Structure 1
Amino acid sequence: MVEQQAEQANTTGQADPTLHTALLQFIFPFSIKAGVDQELAARLQEDGFTRFFLDNKELESLYYGEGYCVSHEKMERSYLPFAAHVLFPREKDHDSFRRFSRVNNLPCRLEMPFQSAGFRILSTDVFLCPFELGFLTLRVAIEEEDLPISTALEFADRFRTLEDVSYKDEHTFIHCSKQRFDRVEDFVFKHLVTVLEPFLDPAETNGAYFETLPFFVDERMLVQAFYGLNLPEGQDGISTELLYRASQVDGLDLEGRPYISASNPDYIKQYTRNHGYSRWAPDTYYMTNEQTFCCVSRARPDIATQLVNQMYGEYYYGLLLNIFHKIVLLKLANLHSRLRINHDNDEIENLIFLINKFSAKFYFLELITQSQGREIFYQLRKVYGNDALFDEVKMTLNDLFQYQDKFQAKRRDTLLMVLTVFTVVSGIYGMNQVIEDLKGNIDWSVMLEYSPFEYLALFLTFSGIAVSLFLTLREAWVTIKSRRKKRHYAKD
């Protein structure tokens, strides 16, 4: 939506529905420095985060606000065993999603250019994942009665922007604990999760911690939201324009009016068909794109509570898994693009290992047991384009295998040729010329009377021995180093 802020906004021209419930989860993917995940886990626990395990049922209603509960049994049953093993690991399983959570229950207020909104930070999650990736999740409830949905969408758009990139961002402030934060990133990294910043990997961004994955995130967090609607009098159902706005996080224009970032009705209808899931229409719709995943519902309160529990539970993990797939696939493609194909032979071998590890342990076509969860998961996978990326990575793997086979064959041929030349020349020629003088106690003074050909034979003899020792030691070192790297990547 940032690009739309430079253009004149299109007002919706419709009555703005109000919300009885506005619950949001802001997700920030980040890259972790190599080898520091154990230290980060210890620091998180020292800072009040609790390791999340499914067998601890006391956590089912702890992090989600009053009246909401996520059934651990239902969440585990929603995923097939090999997926559940990754998402809900045992304590010693590091090749998985390790979740650390903390209750905040922190009342705050967001000041926007045209109005303000009170909200509460319910809880915070930090996930430590394989491939040196992680997720930070802020669980937020907007605490305003009869809140217009445009205000909720504007809140989501302002809060998800870590760095000020527009006029409205520069005039948005957070008040919390008698402090004022001019930027969301300061509120997140210097107030909510202060232990995280030193562990973020700045290698890709020259030290900019809010852009640690520049090939995926552009200074904005992803938004997962539930909007419980009170429809205005005379409005029978949820309009396609409202669904589009919820997906695009279209809130208020520069004059404080509700707006929509598209004007073509046919385009809006086509977009909602392609990015929506309407199994429970006309009461409930799910909208997806690369930046948002939201549920817009006019269901009665008891049904709405069940929908929220799903958004906090199995759908939350389904979203994280799709984001994880997307980022890892992009990371593998990025590693491939940086290879110097004629020089980085060790990196080629490591990349082959990483691709095989990802495809064997983390990427499966079937992950969800229930039909509705499976359909939403597939919708997310389609929006992120993960299948196309995975096909591209598999083609990369095939190309790397072919190159490695050719390289190793060429290397074996060269090694065989060198050894053959030295064996034949130094063995036969050297033995015929100088072998008698090298038996028993060597009389080195005899070598002063050698002819040029005998000196050549002596040189070939010793150089053949030296080359054989060098090649043997080098192959042994390469093998040891390769095994160490494989153990390191397998541990990570």
Structure 2
Amino acid sequence: MDVAPLTIKQSYMTFLFPFAYRTNNRQEISAVLLQEGFSFFTLDNTALENAFYGDISIVHEELDQFFYPFLEDKLFPATINSSDFTRFSKAFYTQGSLQYQENHLNYEVMSIDITLCPFGNGILTVRTSITDTAHDISDILHFIHYFRVLEAKLREEKGAIHHFPFGDFLSTSELLFNHFIPYLQPFLLHQQDDIYKGLPFFEDERMFAAAYLISEEASELLPEHLFRLGQVDGRTPEGKPFISSTNPKYIANYVQEHSHTRWAPNSYMVTSAQAQITLTNLPIEKCTHSIQEFMGIHYYNLFIHYFYKMMLLKLSYEYSEIKWGKDKLVVNELIELITKFSARYYFEEVVVRTEGREISQMLRKFFNIQEHYLETKSTLDSLYRIQEDQSDSRSNNLLFILTVFTVISGIYGMNLVIDGWKDSKEFDSIWSYTLFEWIAFITALSGIGLSLVLVCLTAFKMLQNNMRRYRKKYK
């Protein structure tokens, strides 16, 4: 299938990388970021409106009015010690190029955000732009495809090199963690040597991409262009323009389902599980406000829904790792976690404006947020009920044993003491005990033994739980 060309004059791209950190290291991370030149982001600090976005300025007042108040104060906390979403930003404006085979594409790393989210989650945001010269849409999508891959493992992901004045880098991960933010890596949590395999919410080890693409004025925006945006179809390993479908009907249905067409036929926003990209053929001077929204209100709309997706995938992973019948405390902690998450952060409607709500609905749909949420709550509730039943069964068995001891003690008038026990010298006479004295003797010893066992088991369980909490917090 022939792929129609489309010239892109300017491109602004944002990449989101989720990470996990120790919650007890939150203040230390904040201190390190401030020391490394990052600025704590607040809406009151209007000096930051044009600090991180190249030739674009965002308006903090728009952010202030875009979200409902019950979420706004959490997204934009006024103090750095908040346990909600604390954002740290730093401008770099560093020029580099991406080489694949013989092709070079110049780009700029404008700025990086590191946002510490609740529950030990975080989101790294990398802003880039390509504004020096026009490129075909295949080259732009090819760049997005390669930049979002942190560690190349598949054939179609390998072969790209990042060239910068300070060195060459074989992967985006190497570029970020060896040069731009090496001080963040020691704080990242991982369960294996490969840092990304320890992140259950990091799908395919690729960052989520958002972009705003400005084509030549009055260019025809075809369904195949929009389809390629959602699929991030750039070029084949041989360098030819690529589209991952040859069925026009399939392409048309995909575009209809994934496109926000409020500003068609001049502008479209395509949302999928891996990217959210706006394509417009309006003159550049008419795009300024839309780019401001892309970097401001639409970014935060994407950000909060991406956080929802992270949290729910994390919860799904943690309850899948539960050892059956042994981790009632873990189930209780997960239920407590999702309850706190639901009560404080998870809302079905977060945006005030109509357009923002329409985009929110698309994000919820393609991130499968509602399905993940209902599945997680249902699974945890089922696990809790089953483990409660098991606990009730163990309690009934223990109650039965204690009842037997109580009945026997009642038969003896609540007194199992044999007169011979009052003198330690008389213990040799146990072989002359009567039947009832033997019953009293065995009952007393087994009762004392059972009590000691129960005390030891309870103490061991408490110590084990405390040690597990400690390891979870400081490992």
- TM-score, length-normalised on structure 1? 0.86
Residue in structure 2 matching 1:145, options 123, 133, 142: 133
Q: Distance in 2 between matches of 1:299 and 1:289?
A: 23
Matched, 1:399 2:382: yes
Q: Distance in 1 between matches of 2:341 and 2:163?
A: 42
Shift of 1:459: 4.9
Matched, 1:31 2:31: no
Map of 1:241-252 to 2, 5 A cutoff? Answer: 241-252=224-235
Which residue is equivalent to 1:181? 169
Residue in structure 1 matching 2:31, options 37, 42, 48: 42
Map of 1:276-425 to 2, 5 A cutoff? Answer: 276-425=259-408
Cα 1:255–1:487 change in 2 (3 A) is closer
Cα 1:53–1:349 change in 2 (3 A) is same
Map of 1:70-109 to 2, 5 A cutoff? Answer: 70-91=58-79, 94-109=82-97
Matched, 1:449 2:429: yes
Is the 1:30–1:212 contact (alpha carbons within 8 Å) kept by the matching residues of 2?
Answer: no
Q: Distance in 2 between matches of 1:214 and 1:366?
A: 26
Q: Distance in 2 between matches of 1:479 and 1:55?
A: 47
Q: Structure 2: state its 5+ residue gaps.
A: none
Question: Secondary structure of the equivalent of 1:54?
Answer: coil
Question: Secondary structure of the equivalent of 2:417?
Answer: helix
Q: Distance in 2 between matches of 1:157 and 1:252?
A: 9
Q: Deviations along 1:57-76, whole A, 9 cap, x unmatched? A: 2212111112x122222112
Cα 1:484–1:369 change in 2 (3 A) is farther
Which residue is equivalent to 1:135? 123
Q: Distance in 2 between matches of 1:55 and 1:323?
A: 25
Q: Distance in 2 between matches of 1:483 and 1:318?
A: 39
Q: Distance in 1 between matches of 2:150 and 2:111?
A: 18
Residue in structure 1 matching 2:204, options 199, 218, 221: 218
Is the 1:78–1:314 contact (alpha carbons within 8 Å) kept by the matching residues of 2?
Answer: yes
Is the 2:270–2:278 contact (alpha carbons within 8 Å) kept by the matching residues of 1?
Answer: yes
Shift of 1:488: 11
Which residue is equivalent to 1:22? 11
Question: Secondary structure of the equivalent of 2:235?
Answer: coil
Count how many residue pairs are aligned between Structure 1 and Structure 2.
471
- TM-score, length-normalised on structure 2? 0.89
Which residue is equivalent to 2:241? 258
Is the 1:211–1:217 contact (alpha carbons within 8 Å) kept by the matching residues of 2?
Answer: no
Shift of 1:223: 0.7
Residue in structure 2 matching 1:154, options 129, 132, 142: 142
Q: Which amino acid aligns with 1:103?
A: A
Shift of 1:273: 0.7
Is the 1:111–1:117 contact (alpha carbons within 8 Å) kept by the matching residues of 2?
Answer: yes
Question: Secondary structure of the equivalent of 1:125?
Answer: strand
Q: Distance in 2 between matches of 1:94 and 1:425?
A: 60
Q: Structure 1: state its 5+ residue gaps.
A: 1-9
Shift of 1:308: 1.2
Q: Which amino acid aligns with 2:140?
A: A
Shift of 1:300: 3.0
Q: Distance in 1 between matches of 2:179 and 2:322?
A: 39
Cα 1:167–1:337 change in 2 (3 A) is closer
Cα 1:413–1:90 change in 2 (3 A) is farther
Shift of 1:374: 0.7
Cα 1:53–1:411 change in 2 (3 A) is farther
Q: Distance in 1 between matches of 2:453 and 2:153?
A: 58
Is the 1:50–1:102 contact (alpha carbons within 8 Å) kept by the matching residues of 2?
Answer: yes
Question: Secondary structure of the equivalent of 2:44?
Answer: coil
Cα 1:193–1:245 change in 2 (3 A) is same
Shift of 1:487: 12
Is the 1:185–1:210 contact (alpha carbons within 8 Å) kept by the matching residues of 2?
Answer: no
Is the 1:426–1:464 contact (alpha carbons within 8 Å) kept by the matching residues of 2?
Answer: no
Identity across aligned pairs (percent)? 34
Q: Which amino acid aligns with 2:145?
A: D
Q: Distance in 2 between matches of 1:386 and 1:19?
A: 33
Q: Distance in 2 between matches of 1:350 and 1:312?
A: 37
Which residue is equivalent to 1:69? 57
Q: Deviations along 1:116-171, whole A, 9 cap, x unmatched? A: 12211111011222232221111101132223222211111121112223556443
Is the 1:109–1:117 contact (alpha carbons within 8 Å) kept by the matching residues of 2?
Answer: yes
Cα 1:430–1:216 change in 2 (3 A) is farther
Q: Distance in 2 between matches of 1:466 and 1:457?
A: 14
Shift of 1:469: 6.7
Cα 1:161–1:483 change in 2 (3 A) is closer
Q: Distance in 1 between matches of 2:23 and 2:63?
A: 31
Q: Distance in 2 between matches of 1:432 and 1:260?
A: 87
Matched, 1:53 2:42: yes
Is the 1:276–1:287 contact (alpha carbons within 8 Å) kept by the matching residues of 2?
Answer: yes
Is the 1:117–1:143 contact (alpha carbons within 8 Å) kept by the matching residues of 2?
Answer: no
Question: Secondary structure of the equivalent of 1:36?
Answer: helix
Question: Secondary structure of the equivalent of 1:141?
Answer: strand
Q: Distance in 2 between matches of 1:229 and 1:349?
A: 53
Which residue is equivalent to 1:270? 253
Q: Distance in 2 between matches of 1:475 and 1:210?
A: 38
Shift of 1:462: 5.4
Q: Distance in 2 between matches of 1:487 and 1:94?
A: 23
Q: Distance in 2 between matches of 1:356 and 1:477?
A: 29
Cα 1:374–1:485 change in 2 (3 A) is farther
Q: Distance in 2 between matches of 1:361 and 1:481?
A: 30
Q: Which amino acid aligns with 1:331?
A: K
Shift of 1:416: 2.2
